[in-house]
């Protein structure tokens, strides 16, 4: 007898990553790339690019969101959650992250903010030894201000120059910390979806 098994799998949780450094050899990009390999089977991670998003300007907005802004808003709106991979600049947020948050907080047409209510995780990458705690604190405030759901357990990736080789995150402990954090963030997203 041929018994058909019910093999319907739930859709994977889709997450977009916003990388807060525009340079090619960015350590934040490198950690994002490691994260795309380390996410669990039930989760996907894709970049929502911000390199061509202009500085927020009400005149530009009045003429209609540029394509780069529309693409960013659509990517975030369609995703289940967002992770910001960010450097710390002078103890605070890099301008490109603040700018992305400002655009994302704005309505477009009949649609409200793309980021309000979204689960948001923060990974801060630094050559320093202390986990870029200041930018993580600033991100908690910035994420709350745009009415997103901040995952309180942000991740600091320290001493980045000592845990990479040829542009790859190679340190086993750093990779395991990132993998475990992504799994925790996955749990956080699931708990929000269940309305906990
Ligand atoms: C303007 C500026 C300010 C910085 N301030 C800090 C800081 O406050 N804390 C810190 O840990 N690193 C600081 N750094 C060093 C960055 O963490 C480092 O350049 C990092 O690699 C940038 O991320 P990226 O490699 O993804 O571009 C600063 C770098 C720049 C360019």
Distance 136 CA to ligand 1 centre (A): 13
CB 36 within 8 A of CB 169: no
pLDDT at 159 over 80: yes
**Would you say the C-alpha torsion 23, 153, 136, 158 has a positive or negative sign?**
negative
Q: Which residues line ligand 1 (CB under 6 A)?
A: 21, 23, 26-28, 87-91, 125-128, 132
Specify the pLDDT at position 85.
99
pLDDT, average across residues 85-110: 96
Distance 142 CA to ligand 1 centre (A): 19
pLDDT, average across residues 35-60: 98
Specify the pLDDT at position 155.
98
φ/ψ of 91, rounded to 5, equals: 75, 10
What is the set of domains in the chain, with CATH numbers? 13-193 (3.40.50.360)
Percent of the chain with pLDDT over 70: 95
Specify the pLDDT at position 6.
61
pLDDT at 64 over 90: yes
CB 147 within 8 A of CB 141: no
CB 17 within 8 A of CB 26: no
Specify the pLDDT at position 3.
52
Cα 171–Cα 176–Cα 178 angle in degrees, nearest 5:
95
Pocket test for ligand 1, best of 126, 139, 159, 160 (most atoms within 8 A of CB): 126
**Would you say the C-alpha torsion 159, 162, 164, 166 has a positive or negative sign?**
positive
Distance of CA 107 to the CA centre of its chain: 20
Confidence of residue 10 (pLDDT cuts 50, 70, 90): confident
Specify the pLDDT at position 109.
83
Distance 113 CA to ligand 1 centre (A): 29
Distance 62 CA to ligand 1 centre (A): 34
Specify the pLDDT at position 110.
87
Percent of the chain with pLDDT over 90: 90
Query: 87-99, pLDDT tens digit by residue?
Result: 999 999 999 999 9
Alpha helices per DSSP H over 10-154:
27-38, 58-63, 67-78, 95-104, 133-145
Closest CA relative to residue 101, chosen from 137, 60, 69 = 69
Confidence of residue 7 (pLDDT cuts 50, 70, 90): low
Average pLDDT, the chain: 95
Q: What is the pTM of this model?
A: 0.95
pLDDT at 196 over 70: no
Alpha carbon separation from 170 to 47, 60, 141, 161, 163 (Å, rounded): 21, 43, 32, 11, 6
Element (H, E) at 79: none
Closest ligand 1 atom number to CA of residue 22: 27
CB 29 within 8 A of CB 85: yes
Specify the pLDDT at position 11.
82
Q: What is the full DSSP assignment across 54-68? A: PPP-HHHHHH---HH
């Amino acid at each position: 007898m041929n018994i058909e098994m019910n093999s319907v799998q739930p859709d994977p949780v889709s997450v977009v990553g916003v990388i807060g450094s525009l340079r090619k050899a960015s350590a934040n990009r490198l950690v994002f790339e490691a994260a795309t390999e380390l996410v669990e089977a039930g989760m996907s991670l894709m970049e929502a690019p911000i390199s061509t998003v202009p500085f927020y300007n009400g005149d530009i907005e009045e003429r209609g969101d540029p394509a780069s802004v529309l693409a960013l808003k659509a990517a975030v709106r369609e995703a289940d959650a967002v992770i910001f991979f960010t450097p710390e600049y002078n103890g605070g947020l890099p301008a490109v992250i603040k700018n992305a948050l400002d655009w994302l907080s704005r309505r477009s047409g009949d649609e409200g903010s793309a980021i309000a209510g979204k689960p948001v995780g923060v990974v801060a990458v630094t050559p320093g030894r202390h986990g870029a705690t200041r930018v993580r604190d600033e991100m908690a405030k910035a994420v709350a201000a745009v009415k997103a759901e901040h995952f309180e357990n942000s991740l600091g990736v320290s001493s980045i120059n000592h845990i990479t080789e040829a542009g790859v995150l190679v340190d086993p402990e750093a990779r395991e910390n990132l993998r475990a954090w992504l799994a925790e963030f996955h749990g956080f997203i699931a708990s929000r979806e269940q309305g906990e």
